[in-house]
Amino acid sequence: MALLTIENLFAWYGMAESLHGVSLSLEEGGIAGVIGPNGAGKSTLMDSIMGLVTVKGSIRLGGREIIGLKPAELVRAGIGYAPERAHLFPYMSVRDNLLVGAYTARGDIEKNLELVHGLFPVLAERWAQETATQSGGERQMVSLGRALMTSPRILLVDEPTIGLAPKICAGIAEALLRLNRETGLAILIAEQNVNFAMQLARHIHVLETGSVAVAGPTEQLRSDPELAKAYFGH
Amino acid sequence: MIQILIQGFLLSGLYALIAVGFTLIFSVGRVLNLAYGAYLMLGGYAYFYTVQQLGVPKLPGFVIAVATGALAGLAMYQFLVKRLKGDHVAVEISTLILAVVIQAAIVLLFNESSKILLPIVDGVWRVGSASVTNNILTAMVASWFILGGLMLFVKRTHLGRAIQAVSMDAKGAMISGINTDRINLTTWAISGALGATAGVFFASYTQLNPSMWVSPLIIAVAVVIVGGIGSIVGSLIVAHIIGFMEIITSSLIAAELRGVFTMLLIIGVLVLRPQGLFGRGDL
For an interface test with B, the pick among A76, A100, A156, A157 (most B C-beta atoms closer than 10 Å) comes out as: A100
* Contact with chain A for residue B88, Cβ under 8 A: no
For chains A and B, count residue pairs whose Cβ atoms are closer than 8 Å.
77
The pLDDT tens digits of the residues spanning B186-239 come to 999 999 999 999 999 999 888 899 999 998 898 888 888 888 766 777 888 889
Looking at the predicted complex, does its ipTM rise above 0.90? Answer: yes
Q: Is the pLDDT of residue B1 over 80?
A: no
Per-position DSSP letters for chain B, written without gaps between them: -HHHHHHHHHHHHHHHHHHHHHHHHHHHH----TTHHHHHHHHHHHHIIIIIIS---HHHHHHHHHHHHHHHHHHHIIIIIGGGTT-HHHHHHHHHHHHHHHHHHHHHHH-SS-BPPPPSS--EEEETTEEEEHHHHHHHHHHHHHHHHHHHHHHHSHHHHHHHHHHH-HHHHHTTT--HHHHHHHHHHHHHHHHHHHHHHHHHHS-B-TTTTHHHHHHHHHHHHHH-TT-HHHHHHHHHHHHHHHHHIIIII-GGGTTHHHHHHHHHHHHH-TT-SS-SS--
HSE of B147, CA atoms in CB hemisphere, 13 A: 27
Which residues in chain B have Cβ-Cβ distances shorter than 8 Å to A96? 161, 164
Position B230 scores a pLDDT of 65
From CA B269, how far away is CA B280, in angstroms rounded?
15
Position A27 scores a pLDDT of 95
Position A110 scores a pLDDT of 96
Assign B26 a pLDDT band (cuts: 50, 70, 90): confident
Position B252 scores a pLDDT of 87
Q: Is the pLDDT of residue A108 over 60?
A: yes
pTM as predicted:
0.88
For an interface test with A, the pick among B175, B183, B231, B282 (most A C-beta atoms closer than 10 Å) comes out as: B175
Q: Is the pLDDT of residue B178 over 80?
A: yes
Per-position DSSP letters for chain A, written without gaps between them: -EEEEEEEEEEEETTEEEEEEEEEEEETT-EEEEE--TTSSHHHHHHHHTT-SEEEEEEEETTEE-TT--HHHHHHHTEEEE-TT----TTSBHHHHHHHHGGG-GGGHHHHHHHHHHH-HHHHHTTTSBGGGS-HHHHHHHHHHHHHTT--SEEEEE-TTTT--HHHHHHHHHHHHHHHHHH--EEEEEES-HHHHHHH-SEEEEEETTEEEEEEEHHHHHH-HHHIIIII--
Shortest distance between the Cα of A77 and any Cα of chain B, in A, equals: 10
CB contact under 8 Å between A101 and B165, yes or no, is no
CB contact under 8 Å between B177 and A71, yes or no, is yes
Which chain B residue shows the shortest CA-CA distance from A98? Answer: B176
CB contact under 8 Å between B177 and A81, yes or no, is no
From CA B127, how far away is CA A106, in angstroms rounded?
50
The pLDDT tens digits of the residues spanning A130-149 come to 999 999 999 999 999 999 99
- Please, what is the Cα angle at B162 between B157 and B167, to 5 degrees? 130
The pLDDT tens digits of the residues spanning A53-103 come to 999 999 999 999 999 999 999 999 999 999 999 999 999 999 999 999 999
Assign B31 a pLDDT band (cuts: 50, 70, 90): confident
Highest mean pLDDT among B40-54, B76-90, B109-123, B200-214: B40-54
Q: Is the pLDDT of residue A233 over 70?
A: no
Position B235 scores a pLDDT of 82
Which chain B residue shows the shortest CA-CA distance from A104? Answer: B177
Q: Which residues pair with B220 in a beta bridge?
A: none
Which residues in chain A have Cβ-Cβ distances shorter than 8 Å to B175? 50, 52, 71, 75, 81, 83, 87, 147
From CA A215, how far away is CA A219, in angstroms rounded?
11
From CA B91, how far away is CA B34, in angstroms rounded?
9
CB contact under 8 Å between B165 and A92, yes or no, is yes
CB contact under 8 Å between A87 and B177, yes or no, is no
